[in-house]
């Protein structure tokens, strides 16, 4: 887990707490014994990295790459909309990984077109771009990387609307033709313990799956009310990207995609329908577009149900876990912050005195393993393209969100074919562009009203 380096102006997910993690894990393991001794290898054996989006997630992904036994790697270019983020990430990474960060001022690019300049530094078929900025721009960056013939790691989420999902799928298909590797930030797929549980489920230990339950109930702050004088409206929204649908897909979509991907993975299918409810607590004073309570029921073609329940209201019972129930037995997949303490219970009584099998503690984080897999695939030319399945899980995410927002059942086919876009000109946006959404006279941004809202 890593926290974004520049996090003062907006609440952000804490998926990659780079500064905390690097001091504990990297120094104790890969940094000390594997990666650093290899940085002096011949340059043609060094995979160069370009980082797009220099917040905590991007810095954390670079740390994983530089710590991998499948290096050597070197960070050679950085791009962001905000110069301070580049400076902060550069300082932290170069201090932690001396000799593995080579990004002079002329390879630190700022602006909406900075991603192109950073990708252009890389060598086709050899190097990797890390697309770690706001989800709204993910598809733009992936498409350009594929066009330039560069391998890509893309952080979640991958698209904010159905049009973006289809573009991710199409870019993945083009990458396949070029033998490019694409890794996606759904790191739970690389959890060793989850993979073992999947194996046991496929072998029938639980019986046919009947129900999957996932929960993310935790406190989260609202959009800041105090606005600095300098940012434009567009940059203010970008700074608070988590609070706007056009940038993040919304709090539900941005944070829930991991559990939703687990649902699809464990069921080995995508649901055909979604419906649910959402809302705000009576005392919610968040000016942004975020809601604070969500519940979605997904139905698969064979009738199996999956539920994802989310709440961000403070001082409530916390739950951050995934559970799977078959006809014979139940299993716990994970607990808080995606920790894979997987268990199989003897029946449906999920108590400590009823455990049939329990996994050991994982020796390597799934964030690190996803990078080990990507770099190994590049080194050995092993097929790796996670674009299609990741985009489809993202669509399941969007199905649930739109079903709640609109207050009706949404089908897979309807969502997949929808031409709805939050920001039609996302590819051409500049610092001078008008923001896609505006606040009312009192400073409140529009929020969904079920039965009236349209987003498909």
What pTM, to 2 d.p., does this model score?
A: 0.90
d(CA 131, CA 152): 7
Is residue 34 within 8 A of residue 375, CB to CB? The reply is no
Percent of the chain with pLDDT over 90: 86
User: What does the pLDDT read at residue 222?
Assistant: 86
State residue 263 phi and psi, 5-degree precision.
-55, -50
User: DSSP string spanning 46-105?
Assistant: PEEEEEE--SHHHHHHHHHHHT-TT--EEEEEEEES-HHHHHHHHHHHHHHSTTSB---G
- Residue 349 CB partners (closer than 8 Å, separation 6+): none
pLDDT digits (tens, 9 = 90+) for 94-119: 999 999 999 999 999 999 999 999 99
Tally: H helices and E strands in the chain: 15, 15
- What's the start-to-end Cα distance of the chain, in Å? 34
Task: Please give the domain boundaries of the chain with CATH numbers for all domains.
Answer: 18-189+369-386 (3.40.50.720), 192-363+395-416 (3.30.360.10)
d(CA 94, CA 379): 25
Query: How many CB atoms are closer than 10 A to CB 99?
Result: 12
pLDDT digits (tens, 9 = 90+) for 69-95: 999 999 999 999 999 999 999 999 999
Residue 35 pLDDT greater than 50, yes or no:
no
User: What does the pLDDT read at residue 229?
Assistant: 81
Query: How many CB atoms are closer than 10 A to CB 163?
Result: 18
Residue 34 pLDDT greater than 90, yes or no:
no
User: What does the pLDDT read at residue 70?
Assistant: 97
């Amino acid at each position: 887990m890593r926290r974004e380096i520049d996090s003062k102006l907006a609440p952000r997910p804490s998926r990659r707490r780079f500064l905390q993690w690097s001091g504990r894990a990297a120094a104790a393991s890969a940094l000390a014994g594997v990666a650093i001794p290899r940085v002096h290898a011949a340059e043609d054996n060094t995979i160069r990295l370009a980082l797009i989006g220099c917040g905590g997630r991007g810095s954390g992904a670079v740390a994983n790459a530089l710590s991998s036994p499948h290096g050597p790697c070197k960070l050679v270019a950085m791009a962001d909309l905000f110069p301070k983020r580049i400076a902060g990430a550069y300082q932290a990474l170069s201090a932690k990984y001396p000799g593995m960060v080579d990004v002079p001022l002329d390879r630190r690019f700022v602006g909406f077109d900075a991603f192109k300049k950073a990708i252009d530094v890389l060598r086709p078929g050899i190097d990797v771009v890390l697309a770690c900025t706001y989800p709204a721009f993910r598809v733009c960056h992936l498409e350009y990387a594929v066009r330039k013939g560069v391998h890509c790691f893309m952080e979640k989420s991958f698209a904010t609307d159905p049009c973006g999902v289809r573009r991710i799928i199409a870019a993945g298909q083009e990458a396949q033709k070029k033998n490019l590797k694409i890794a996606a930030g759904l790191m739970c797929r690389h959890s060793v313990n989850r993979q073992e549980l999947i194996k046991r489920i496929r072998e029938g230990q639980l019986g046919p799956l009947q129900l999957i339950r996932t929960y993310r109930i935790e406190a989260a702050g609202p959009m800041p009310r105090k606005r600095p004088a300098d940012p434009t409206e567009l940059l203010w929204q970008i700074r608070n990207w988590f609070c706007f649908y056009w940038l993040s897909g919304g709090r539900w979509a941005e944070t829930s995609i991991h559990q939703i991907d687990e649902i699809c993975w464990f069921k080995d299918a995508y649901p055909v329908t979604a419906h649910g409810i959402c809302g705000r607590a009576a005392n919610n004073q968040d000016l942004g577009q975020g809601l604070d309570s969500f519940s979605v029921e997904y139905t698969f073609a064979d009738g199996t149900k999956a539920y994802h329940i989310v709440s961000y209201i403070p001082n409530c019972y916390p739950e951050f876990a995934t559970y799977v129930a078959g006809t014979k037995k139940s299993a716990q997949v994970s607990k808080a912050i995606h920790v894979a303490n997987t268990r199989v219970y003897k029946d449906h009584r999920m108590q400590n005195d009823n455990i049939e099998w329990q996994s050991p503690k994982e020796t390597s984080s799934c964030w690190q393993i996803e990078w080990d897999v990507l770099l190994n695939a590049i080194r050995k030319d092993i097929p790796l393209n996670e674009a299609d399945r990741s985009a489809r899980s993202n669509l399941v995410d969007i199905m649930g969100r739109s079903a709640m927002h609109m207050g009706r059942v949404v089908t897979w086919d309807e969502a997949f074919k929808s031409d709805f876009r939050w920001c039609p000109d996302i590819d051409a946006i500049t610092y001078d562009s008008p923001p896609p959404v505006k606040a009312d006279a009192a400073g409140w941004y529009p929020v969904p009203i079920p039965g009236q809202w349209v987003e498909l």
